[in-house]
Amino acid sequence: MKRCLKESSVKINCHCHIFSLDCVPLEFRKRFFLNLKNPRHRFVHRLIRGILPHDSRLDDWLAFLDMPISEIAQNLVDEMDEAGIDICTPLMVDMEYCKKFGAATRSFEDQARQTVAAVDAINKKYNRTRMLPFIAADPHREGVVDIVIDRLRHGAFRGVKIYPVMGFTPDDKRLYPIYDYCVEHHVPITTHCENGGIPGLKEYYYLADPKYWVAVLKDFPRLTLNLAHNDRTGSSWQERIAELIQTYPNVYTDISYDTEMWFAPRRYFKHIKRMLGTPKIQHRLLYGTDWYMGRCLWTEASYLKWFLEYSRKIFWCRVAFTPQEIKRLTENNPKRFLRLTDEECSPSLFL
C-alpha cells in the first residue's frame, strides 16, 4: 500500500480554457476582429494596444488565435510553472448551437478528441497530473447524455461544464440524466454563473442566473456544483449563490476573472476576504483565473500575485490575505471540489 510521506502542498486553478479559435463560430470571429490576416482587424488591434496598460500582453493573447489546442495547453502549463500552480481544470466550450453566431469551424467531437490528446500529452510529459479537463454539455446536442457520460465513464474527462448563455437553462430536463450520473459517481460540474460572458450575447446572460439551479438542487441535493465567477459584489445573484452554498453540502463558487478586480479592487478583495471568513462559504470558495480569456491583462503569475502581494501593497486596496486563507482558496477547497487524492496531486510524495 502506498503511503503519503508528508502533507502535500498543491495549488489548483479551477477555471481555465485551452480551446482553439476554430472552436468558436466564424461569425463571432468576424464581428470581434479576431482574424490576424485581415488588415482591418490588425488596425483595430493597434488601436487597442494604444489604450491598454503598458505592461499588457495583447500580442501574446493574439498569438493564441493561431495555435492548436496542444500548443495552447503547453503555454498554460508554462505559465502555471511560473506561478507555482500545479493542477488546472480546462473547461471545454460547445458553441455549435449558438443561435446568434452559428456553428464553429471545428466540430465538438474533434475538439473533445484534441482536448483529451493535449491533456494526456501534458500529464505524461510531466509524469503527474497537471490537467483535469471538463467536457461541455449542451442539451441542444443530439445524444448529449450518451456523449458526456461515455467520456466520463472512460476517464477522459474529470467533470462537466455547463454554459447556459448558449441558449438554455440548467433546469432543462434533457440534462437530468447527466446530473444523476454526476451525483452517483461524484463528478463535479462547473457552470457559468455571472451576469455577463461571451461578448455579443448580452440578451442571453440572464440564463446563467443561479435561480435556475434551485430546482436542480432540490432534485439532486448532493450534486457537486461550482457556480463560477460569483457575479458582482452585492448583486442579487451573488446573494443567491451564497444561499445555495449555505443550503447544499456540495455547492461552490469560484473567483475567476471579474473586471471588478481592476476597477474596484478594494471592494472586490474585501468581499473575498469576508467570504473566506464566513462559515460554510469559507470552505466552498475556489481559485480560478479564466485563462486565457483575460490574458491581455495578466499572466497566471501576475493574477496570483494580486492575492499574495498586490491586494496588500497597493494603497487604494490594502486587503491582506493570511497564508491560511490562501491555502484554503487555492489548495484545500479545490481538492475537495475535485475529490483529488494525494496520489493524484503529487505522486512524488509516495513510496
CATH classification at residue 132: 3.20.20.140
Say which range, 99-103, 229-233, 325-329, has the weakest mean pLDDT. Answer: 99-103
- Cell 451564497 found at: 242
Residue 141 lies in a domain: yes
More confident residue, 196 or 259: 196
Range of the domain at 234: 69-349
- DSSP string covering 15-51, please? EE----GGGSBHHHHHHTT--TT-HHHHHHHHHHHHH
Q: State the average pLDDT over residues 83-110.
A: 90
Residue 11 lies in a domain: no
Q: What is d(CA 53, CA 50) in angstroms, rounded to the nearest whole number?
A: 8
Total structural domains within the chain: 1
Residue 228 lies in a domain: yes
Residue 114 lies in a domain: yes
Q: Find how far residue 61's CA is from the centre of its chain.
A: 17
Helix residue spans in the chain (DSSP H): 26-31, 39-51, 58-63, 69-83, 108-126, 144-153, 176-184, 214-219, 236-247, 260-263, 265-275, 300-305, 311-313, 323-327, 333-338, 342-345
Q: Find how far residue 66's CA is from the centre of its chain.
A: 22
Q: What is d(CA 234, CA 14) in angstroms, rounded to the nearest whole number?
A: 23
| Per-residue pLDDT, 1 | 31
pLDDT band at 51, cuts 50/70/90? low
Residue 119 lies in a domain: yes
| Per-residue pLDDT, 46 | 65
Considering only CA atoms, which of 273, 249, 290 is closest in space to residue 329?
273
Query: Is residue 71 classed as helix, strand or coil in its secondary structure?
Result: helix
Residue 329 lies in a domain: yes
Residue 54 lies in a domain: no
Work out the burial of residue 40: count CB atoms within 10 Å of its CB; fewer than 13 is exposed, 13-18 middle, 19 or more buried: exposed
Residue 15 lies in a domain: no
Considering only CA atoms, which of 246, 254, 261, 248 is closest in space to residue 219?
248
**Average pLDDT of the chain to the nearest whole number:** 89
Query: Is residue 5 classed as helix, strand or coil in its secondary structure?
Result: coil
289-345: pLDDT as tens digits: 999 988 878 899 999 999 999 999 988 899 999 999 999 999 999 999 999 987 777
